[in-house]
Amino acid sequence: MTDDRELSLILDRWLSDGPTEMPDRVIDVVAIGISRQRQRPAWRLDWRHLSMNSLAKAGVAIAAVVLVAVVGYNLLPGSTRFGGPAPSQAPTQPPPSATPTATPSAAASATAVFPTWYTPNPDDGGAGILTAGSHTTSSFLPPLTYAVPAGWVNHSDGTYVGLFPDTPANQAEFARSGEIADSIVMGQIDSPYFVCKGLENYRGTAAEMAAAAAANEILMVSDVADVTVGGLTGKRFDVRIDPDWDGNCPGDPPGSNYADGRTRVFFLDAPGRGVIVIFVGSLHATDHEAFVAPATQIVESFDFTL
């Protein structure tokens, strides 16, 4: 769920130290984020980068070349920091009282084991196959505990948390398209979208974002309700593409069709942190009813440490 603001923050933190070389991980994170700017349902953005198939790898390589050119320009003397205004007088050294900002640092656990059919992204820091019971995130902020039954996998614990069940449906979809059919994805994003970034704009509180989604003519929103998850309050609703909408999304590749997708959404107000977004998503409507009930129970077990 990387958005423009998050990419700018990543580069800001890196560039503020005055480096002359870019770590591979910075290139990977930002390039993946750039490649995700296609207009796709928000919960599919994270799933798509799990596979890193040939097409995705090509897109990341192109994005990385562009990124290196942009960052190279910003490293020239007198250039401004990426994503921020030019300071009137840039200090050569940080103030003595300055302290580094804590950021999530995901890395693959040496003990993580994943299903044989699934190829993890080592930069996502996933814990792998989980035992039944309670678990705590290692990198995601704010820290989170949650409970799962047997058969669930944590594939990401960095800028976002990702969970999926080890099921034949997920295995078949991963083999077919490189994507996960049913998954839980959670993170913090200023303006999430479900179908088309160019036609959706949800900002503000959880209630304001849910109301804007319900008013959007390209969506069908149902079962809107107040909800409390892990001590945070907000809104829960189900969303799909409105079957009566016959428009086109600017930027979508020809033949794109996400009308069969279904998502249960949680928007949670986190004081001082904006809105935490949770997607319980299915690529196929036939899978969603059986998946959403146990997945929602996992979400309701979330306990945030703010």
> Which is it for the CA torsion 294, 297, 298, 299, positive or negative?
positive
CA distance 202 to 193: 7
Q: Are residues 190 and 286 in the same domain?
A: yes
Predicted local distance difference test score (pLDDT) of residue 33: 46
Q: What percent of the chain has pLDDT over 70?
A: 61
Tell whether 165 is covered by a domain: yes
- Model confidence over 80-105: pLDDT tens digits? 222 222 233 333 344 343 333 344 44
**Residue 252 contacts residue 38 (beta carbons within 8 Å):** yes
User: Residue 203's domain is classified under what CATH number?
Assistant: 3.40.1000.10
User: Of 74, 103, 132, which residue sits at a domain end?
Assistant: 74
Q: Are residues 32 and 128 in the same domain?
A: no
Neighbour order of strands in the sheet with 152-157: 125-129, 152-157, 160-165, 182-188, 274-282, 262-270, 232-241, 219-229
Which residue range forms the structural domain that includes residue 64? 4-74
Domains in the chain, number: 2
- Model confidence over 192-201: pLDDT tens digits? 888 888 888 8
Overall average pLDDT of the 229-248 stretch: 92
Tell whether 50 is covered by a domain: yes
Predicted local distance difference test score (pLDDT) of residue 12: 54
Judge whether residue 243 has pLDDT over 80.
yes
Give which of 145, 144, 126 is closest to 134, Cα–Cα: 145
Predicted local distance difference test score (pLDDT) of residue 19: 55
In 3-state terms the chain splits into helix, strand, coil percentages (rounded to 5) of 30, 25, 45
Torsion of CA 24, 29, 35, 41, to 10 degrees: 160
- Band (77; pLDDT cuts 50, 70, 90): very low
Burial of 233 (0-12, 13-18, 19+ CB in 10 A): middle
Tell whether 39 is covered by a domain: yes
Mean pLDDT, the chain, rounded, equals 73
Judge whether residue 235 has pLDDT over 50.
yes
Q: Are residues 47 and 131 in the same domain?
A: no
Q: Which residue has the higher pLDDT, 289 or 62?
A: 289
Q: Are residues 188 and 260 in the same domain?
A: yes
Q: What percent of the chain has pLDDT over 90?
A: 43
Least-confidence region, from 26-35, 113-122, 200-209, 249-258: 26-35
Q: Are residues 165 and 229 in the same domain?
A: yes
Task: Return all residues near 201 (Cβ < 8 A) that are at least 6 apart.
Answer: 191, 212
* Look-up of token digits 């009813």: 289
pTM over 0.75: no
- SS3 readout for 1-26: CCCHHHHHHHHHHHHCCCCCCCCHHH
Tell whether 183 is covered by a domain: yes
